[in-house]
């Protein structure tokens, strides 16, 4: 097994999502990796149309993109070499098998929100909440960016 640099395409999607029934959204950005530019561009197009159809998500098209980059990766000589390494670590999954992807959920947001103190009466360290919004500790006192849905 050797290591090498391989070309990958990183899809970055910047969005602002509001919890159900709220008019204020939380900005988030996530990256996905693809082996071909065509796959990346197709996924970007699909994600943007899916998010645009949602009433509580705004996509920032200027920050959403496919960019080429390189990642260091382990290179295996054969499938047998992969199997030998994976049997010892237990972390390798055959990409042909259906693996259930775990997506962020509104339920997780609501659970975390319920466990946080109100920001108005909280002077401690860590995150707090303002209504249905989670304010992370690192973001307290910073300017807020306004997102608006284009009509």
60 and 112, same domain (yes or no): no
70 and 109, same domain (yes or no): no
| Spatial separation of the C-alpha atoms in residues 146 and 48, rounded to whole Å | 19
**Residue 108, helix vs strand vs coil:** helix
**Residue 56, helix vs strand vs coil:** coil
Domain count, the chain: 2
Provide φ and ψ at 74, rounded to 5°.
-80, 135
91 within domain boundaries: no
Taking a C-beta distance cutoff of 8 angstroms, is the pair 11, 95 a contact? no
| Spatial separation of the C-alpha atoms in residues 119 and 131, rounded to whole Å | 9
61 and 120, same domain (yes or no): no
What is the pLDDT, as a whole number, of residue 19? Answer: 75
143 within domain boundaries: no
71 and 4, same domain (yes or no): yes
What is the pLDDT, as a whole number, of residue 80? Answer: 82
| Spatial separation of the C-alpha atoms in residues 79 and 32, rounded to whole Å | 25
63 and 117, same domain (yes or no): no
| Domain of residue 120, residue span | 105-137
Per residue in 97-150, pLDDT tens? 554 544 445 566 677 788 888 887 777 777 887 777 777 766 656 665 655 556
Pick from 9, 11, 69, 17: which is nearest to 45 by CA? Answer: 11
Residue 93 pLDDT class (50, 70, 90 cuts): low
Per residue in 19-45, pLDDT tens? 776 777 888 888 889 989 999 999 999
- Looking at 76, 92, 126, the residue that finishes a domain is 76
98 within domain boundaries: no
31 within domain boundaries: yes
What is the pLDDT, as a whole number, of residue 40? Answer: 92
What is the pLDDT, as a whole number, of residue 139? Answer: 60
Taking a C-beta distance cutoff of 8 angstroms, is the pair 59, 17 a contact? no
Tokens found for residue 89: 């670590």
| Spatial separation of the C-alpha atoms in residues 40 and 68, rounded to whole Å | 10
Specify the pTM: 0.51
69 within domain boundaries: yes
What is the pLDDT, as a whole number, of residue 99? Answer: 46
Eight-class DSSP state of 119: G
19 and 60, same domain (yes or no): yes
Name 43's Cβ contacts closer than 8 Å, sequence gap at least 6.
11, 32, 34
């Amino acid at each position: 097994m050797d290591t090498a640099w391989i070309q990958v395409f990183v899809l970055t999607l910047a969005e602002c999502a509001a919890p159900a029934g709220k008019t204020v959204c939380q900005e988030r950005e996530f990256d996905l990796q693809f082996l071909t530019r065509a796959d990346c561009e197709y996924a970007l197009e699909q994600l943007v149309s899916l998010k645009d159809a949602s009433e509580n998500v705004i996509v920032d098209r200027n920050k959403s993109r496919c960019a080429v980059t390189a990642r260091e990766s382990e290179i295996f000589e054969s499938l047998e070499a992969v199997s030998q390494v994976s049997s010892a670590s237990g972390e390798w999954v055959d990409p042909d098998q259906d693996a259930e992807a775990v997506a962020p959920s509104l339920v997780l947001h609501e659970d975390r929100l319920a466990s946080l103190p109100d920001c108005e009466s909280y002077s401690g360290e860590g995150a707090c909440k303002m209504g249905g919004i989670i304010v992370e500790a690192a973001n307290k006192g910073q300017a807020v960016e306004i997102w608006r849905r284009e009509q």
